[in-house]
Structure 1
Amino acid sequence: MTALYAGFTGWLFESLIQPAMYALGLMDWAEDAYGWLDFGLFGLLTIGVVYAVCRPLEAWRPVEPVAHPRAVRTDMVYTFLARLGILPLLAFVLLASLQSRWEGWLTEAGMLPPTLEELFPALRASPLLALAVYVVVLDFGEYWRHRAQHGLRWWWALHAIHHAQRQMTFWTDDRNHVLDDVLAALWFGGIALLIGVPPGQFPIIVLLLRLGESLSHANVRLSFGRVGERLLVSPRFHRLHHGELSAGATGKNYAVLLPVWDWVFGTADWRRDAYPRTGVPGAAEGLASGGWLRQQWMGLRGMASALRGR
């Protein structure tokens, strides 16, 4: 799969992008352009996979009709801006240089970097088992990052953009303030480097978590049953998190992929037939239905007010 993906990327760059850059006199930027092409193609791949899985489900059994198509289109803008930039991958690359220095310092001190494969050598012999362990550890980190987004007033001011959507669809997953996305990417990428996720497995993990998150936001009346609901976050389970009465620090169902964290830490709501209205009660109208730029500005203004104690 890696070879096919690399071959297609190389062909696309050599056949279309490189000739155009040469004609425009931009060959000094060729190496950077190739790197961003890789990010962009992976972003399109994630959007394609998510659409192929989630759109038929929403058409099959929607929770509610789409009454606010403009709000959905704004969420689509969020998705393309977020996924074509691939912030987690970018954070992973930027933090890699810091990791190299840290590992060099530990090596000079006679210590091995405490990655999971160093702590559990059996993971080296089983890439699939290692991938599963990495997903569990990173999902645990995402649970606590999500708790922080709700518990810290300044961070909630940014994250409220995500919760203000009253017309939830699978596009809502990426409806975040840019600064919120940057913080989340640094958190996720930092944990991945700390536990030693191989660069080749990192995009696969991102794809799996993104698919799970998008599915959980889908406008579909879908539960995974009494047992399945405790194994994987369903659209019903996560919709309770987005319900009007769950905004802010009083929320439930924070898990991104594995509900076990809500189960263990007492934040789970297991009601199986509840599909509440979504949104943030009392939020400014622009936060729910405004355009991308307006919502970004309102998020910054809200964070500044929270930092000032207002």
Structure 2
Amino acid sequence: MLVFLDRLFSAIAGEIDQYLVLPLLYHFGWMEWEELSFDWALVCVYGLFAVVVTYAICWPLEAFFPIERWDNRKAVLVDAFYTIINRVGVLPVVSFLVFYEAQVVVNSFVVAHGYIPPTLEMLVPPLLGHQVITFIVYALILDCADYWRHRLSHSFRSWYALHALHHAQRQMSFWSDDRNHLLDDLIAALWFGVVGLAIGIPPLQFPLLFLFTRFIESLSHANVKLSFGWLGDRLLVSPRFHRLHHGLRAAGRNSCNYGAVFPIWDILFRTADFSDEYAPTGDRRAPESMASGGYIAQQMGGLQFFLSEFRQSSAKRARRNS
């Protein structure tokens, strides 16, 4: 089955590459990227597949076992738009492009100075030839890094003003995972890029790891009464576990359950809450435009909230120093 899917995705990516990507590269004079164009197309095909699989699994769960039912789903539709552009559209291509280019530049620089950049398999030789185990190790490392990025985003007032766009959603669903401010997404991309370069993730594997982890995150945001049991909730982030992070009482610095895929980091760093409840979601401090506005209104509202919080933080520091 996996071989069939790999061949199918490769065939689809080949058609997209031949009839869409390559003509665009030729038109804009970007043929230096020709060797990578197929990989870009393949990443987008995998992204579309991930969206389809996420919808096929999460929609029935939300339909039959919802936590809440909503008459007006406009806010959910906006979240769906975020998902499409983040999984299939701009972000997969840009992340692949930037990460590949950065890896080439960094590797060329350090090799020119007599240093061979190690890969994770070089540092841990038993991982050689064990692709599944290596993939899991990569996922654990990236998830640990994301735990700290996420926790820090709740620790700094200005940074949280951007991240609050994600928490402002009162109708949280499996589409909500990609509901982020562009500046917050940029910080996350840089964060992941640095970590990915440090542990030597192959360029094509980086977006695939990204897609895998984001599928788990989509499920954890689903509007569904679901936990994985006492043991399962401690192995993988469930909808019940993550909903506590989005609960009204957990907004801002008082949150919990920062882990995106694996709860182990919350357990180790004492931020885990395994309460058996499905709290209402949202953040009352965030401007209404960030909760119920369209895509542009949310982005502008997040920027204004960030500037307001930044000015207030700066003024407080100035008063303390005077």
TM-score of the two chains, using structure 2 as the length reference: 0.86
Contact (CA 8 Å) 2:79, 2:176: kept in 1 or not? yes
Q: Hey, what does 2:246 align to over in structure 1? A: 242
Distance 1:245 1:295 in 2: 22
> Over the residues paired in the alignment, what is the CA RMSD in angstroms?
2.5
Q: CA deviation at 1:181?
A: 1.1
Does structure 1 residue 251 correspond to structure 2 residue 255?
yes
Contact (CA 8 Å) 2:165, 2:286: kept in 1 or not? no
Question: What fraction of aligned residue pairs are identical, expressed as a percent?
Answer: 45
Does structure 1 residue 58 correspond to structure 2 residue 65?
no
Distance 1:78 1:169 in 2: 12
Range moving further from structure 2, 228-237 or 87-96: 87-96
Range moving further from structure 2, 66-75 or 234-243: 66-75
Q: CA deviation at 1:129?
A: 1.1
Please point out which of 91, 101, 104 is paired with 2:105.
Answer: 101
Q: Hey, what does 1:293 align to over in structure 2? A: 296
Q: Hey, what does 1:276 align to over in structure 2? A: 279
Q: CA deviation at 1:123?
A: 1.4
Question: What are the superposed Cα offsets for residues 168-189 of structure 1, whole Å, 9 maximum, x if unpaired?
Answer: 1001111111111121112112
Aligned-partner SS, 2:234: coil
Q: Hey, what does 1:262 align to over in structure 2? A: 266
Point out where structure 2 has 5 or more consecutive residues left out of the alignment.
Answer: 314-322
Point out where structure 1 has 5 or more consecutive residues left out of the alignment.
Answer: none
Question: What are the superposed Cα offsets for residues 180-237 of structure 1, whole Å, 9 maximum, x if unpaired?
Answer: 1121112112211210112343233122101100000000000111111100000000
Change in CA separation of 1:249 and 1:40 when aligned onto 2, cut-off 3 Å:
same
Matches within 5 A, 1:210-221: 210-221=214-225
Q: Hey, what does 2:178 align to over in structure 1? A: 174
User: How many equivalent residue pairs?
Assistant: 306
Please point out which of 129, 132, 135 is paired with 2:133.
Answer: 129
Contact (CA 8 Å) 1:68, 1:167: kept in 2 or not? no
Q: Hey, what does 1:159 align to over in structure 2? A: 163
Range moving further from structure 2, 291-300 or 186-195: 186-195
Contact (CA 8 Å) 2:99, 2:203: kept in 1 or not? no
Question: What are the superposed Cα offsets for residues 232-290 of structure 1, whole Å, 9 maximum, x if unpaired?
Answer: 00000000000001111110000000001000101011112x00000002432222111
Change in CA separation of 1:85 and 1:153 when aligned onto 2, cut-off 3 Å:
farther
Distance 2:155 2:302 in 1: 16
Does structure 1 residue 230 correspond to structure 2 residue 234?
yes
Aligned-partner SS, 1:165: coil
Aligned-partner SS, 2:128: helix
Change in CA separation of 1:10 and 1:95 when aligned onto 2, cut-off 3 Å:
closer
TM-score of the two chains, using structure 1 as the length reference: 0.89
